[in-house]
Amino acid sequence: MFDLVARAPRRPKTGETLIGDSFGMFIGGKGANQAIAASRLN
């Protein structure tokens, strides 16, 4: 359960591909949020 984050100098236009300048992997994301919420139900 990770968020994958790529940074680019600006938002791409529709159909455009940009080259990113960095990439990161962070704990979180939809799955992590759901798991935390489910664990709090008990």
What is the sign of the dihedral through the CA atoms of 19, 9, 25 and 31? Answer: negative
Q: 36 vs 42, which has greater pLDDT?
A: 36
Domain boundaries, the chain: 2-8+19-40
Residue 10: C-alpha distances to residues 3, 15, 18, 21, 41 (Å): 20, 14, 8, 11, 40
pLDDT, tens digit (0-9, with 9 covering 90-100), for 7-32: 999 999 999 999 999 999 988 888 88
Q: What pTM was computed for the model?
A: 0.51
